[in-house]
Amino acid sequence: MTDKIYFSENLIPPGNFEALVFEIHEKYDLANVALVGHEPMLSSLISWLTTGETEARIMLKKGGVAFLSSDSLFQDWRAALQWLLTPALMVEI
């Protein structure tokens, strides 16, 4: 595991989710990827990965964290939403 930070043009609005998945597949270990970005793009990305549509009502609060899992994003373009945490919940933990 590395402690490096990489920047991706595909996370800058309006973004290109398919290109982002290709980039992750080609450059990184899916088990060790954390994506950081802004709303509403991150909620749209979560929606696209879990439902195939960008309009699902996923509400990611400012400073919130979502955990998604996938055996192969590249193969089926889908992930499972495991949990969402708000900043208030993280303070309580």
The rounded distance, in Å, linking the Cα atoms of 85 and 28 is 24
DSSP 9: G
The rounded distance, in Å, linking the Cα atoms of 56 and 49 is 10
pLDDT of residue 10: 92
Show the domain range for 38.
9-92
Q: Which stretches of the chain drop beneath a pLDDT of 50?
A: 1
* CA separation, residue 78 to residues 22, 44, 53, 61, 62 (Å): 13, 13, 11, 22, 24
Percent share of the chain, pLDDT over 70: 90
Number of domains in the chain: 1
Question: Is residue 69 a part of any domain in this protein?
Answer: yes
Contact 84/64 with Cβ under 8 angstroms? yes
Question: Is residue 4 a part of any domain in this protein?
Answer: no
Contact 46/81 with Cβ under 8 angstroms? yes
Question: Is residue 2 a part of any domain in this protein?
Answer: no
pLDDT of residue 5: 83
